[in-house]
Structure 1
Amino acid sequence: MNQLHNAFTLFLSLLVEAMPFLLLGVLLSGLLLLWIDERQLIAVMPKNPILGAFVGSCAGFLFPVCECGNVPVARRLLMQGVPAPVAVGFLLAAPTINPIVIWSTWVAFRDQPEIVVLRVVFSLSIATIIASVFSVQSNLKPILQPAIACALPQMKTQTAEDETPTLLKSGTFWLGQPQPAMSAVGITGGGIMGQSITSKPLSFKLRMLLENTVQELRELGGVLILGSAIAAAIQVLVPRELILSLGQGPIASILAMMVLAALVSICSTVDSFFALSFATTFTSGSLLAFLVFGPMIDLKGIGLMLSIFKPRAVFYLFGLAAQMTFIMTLLYTYFF
């Protein structure tokens, strides 16, 4: 009974901690939809895959969200036709490459400034490399959820009977069952009745923002609740002593902290304080692995990513991020 109480407490704490950032991400997603002209957005994005991946990885400074809020923003970027390297780079790097997280890491590790610097450098490098790898996939349809693939501008074909783009239709992207179009009638790929959405009245934009926010919260909120429940159950069932016993060797400690980061699913804005509690037991390299890997891949994040990508693509993201985090932090442990 005591374990059940602890699990429920952890579940609520994870949910309360993550929900504001999910809401922030959903709001930013709506702002991208209604206030940013998608043609202008696509036009300014670098066409070079590596440069696009780097720009997307650095975009967290403009949209400071954690790993709960970056998914709806990345999804909206993809649906507006932003190149895949930009969206994937943002998806992986935004939870770390933003001023809020950098500041909180500095507060926790001010006696070890190299942790702060290397967290940014490693996260930016890993996100850029993985995003560049995804640029090789010229056709994203095989790795995206069907509803997201249908919403991509370059993949959809609209007829006179259905001129409403998928990204403006209400429905559950997770289930892939779009419903009737949102309240605006006659919305075309270029806007409303041939006009850009960005030129519509403020009252119209606010109504569309509210509808989009409710839609995405319904879709992503359920996944977040499920991921938080799983993470809370694992934290209670796996003895902390078992994890601490693995913190002695350089390799075992890095692996243990990476697994811990994925399981506990702590928001990137506060994970540095959690990692600090292991500073006397684990090596600096393993603490760095926790701070780099956790914001990219954790149980909540995997669940949310599945609203964009098919399981195979999420598995690739997980594997690449894990390998590069392990290699970089191991080299730091041995040579520095």
Structure 2
Amino acid sequence: MKFAVSLTMERFSPDAPMSRVKNNLLELARIADEGGFETLWTAEHHTIECTISPNPFQTLTWLGQHTDQIRLGTSTLVAPYWSPIRLAGEAALCDHLTDGRLEFGIARGSYQYEFDRMAGGMPQQEGVAYLKELVPAVRKLWQGDYAHNGQYWNFPLATAVPKPLQQPHPPIWVAARDPGTFDWAISVGANILSTPLSAPAAEIQVLADKFEKAVADHPEVPRPRFMMQRRTCVYDRPEDWQLAVQHSMDYGRTFENLMQNIGAVREGFPEAVPFESVKGKDNYNPDNIRKNLMFGTPDEVIEKLLAYEAAGVDQYCLGLTFNLPFELQKKTLRLFVDEVMPFFAAREQDRQRAVGSGR
């Protein structure tokens, strides 16, 4: 199992200068690169300060100039916000500017608040149809001349300029939680990005079963990779769990605002919906959050990660963008690099030795 980190510039107060926000992201990216993380993922969002990333290709190109090895991924582009020609060209150029390190992650989109402003108010659930038309069109534009006559986009013969550096194209990843999206994504040769959100650990296997069924249903397709992401915080002392849980709960109330479109957003800052609106839900129970999310000491985190490894997850992604204090974000990465990743590296070495010896 490899490891990745999801990072995005975030502001939760107008008192936080963008210069500091930008520099914090760069420092975390460098720690992840030097520490041996496989991929850094960053999202696309618009008009909200808690996730500042109107074009993740810009962010990744910038980070690519300050990192050496880590792969750089979009998690995720929002399909209805793009045209095939523009997306194919911008992704390919980003691939060149990052020396072939781009991972192309895409999804239907999430926040209804954004869809009201970016997609004419269409229900965000309808984004999946755009996704299914967009991905094959982008892939064909990467290959050469292609004309498209579809439901959402139409254009005469054209091609991506430039073509991607990686051939035949950068790895494609699709965000999925429902069985239909798993099945479609794997049928077109995409890898899978998924998350159990705040659900109990049993959800890990539920998602893994959806992945395995889709793989079994498409034997004609080479086995794709499977990434899973959770909010993550690693700390020295077991009693430090309360800070991580409180930040997760506060961020969750902001998430409810944007997903359900039920709260105010002023100057780009979403207001957290009142705790009374969510109180009683299992995923707002502090003990459940502590148990379900990737919160814990290094030993506790290793124990939780074994469930992901057992479920066949190829890449576990640390979700760090939920308004954790910056020093705690840095500590999380460093503890993960120093005390968690070596455990799994040793397990991989043991497996390889066993295979080599024929055991």
Give the TM bin, normalised by the shorter chain. Answer: under 0.3
Q: Whose helix fraction is larger, Structure 1's or Structure 2's?
A: 1
> TM-score, normalization: structure 1?
0.25
Q: Whose strand fraction is larger, Structure 1's or Structure 2's?
A: 2
* Greater relative contact order (CA < 8 Å, ≥ 6 in sequence): 1
> TM-score, normalization: structure 2?
0.24
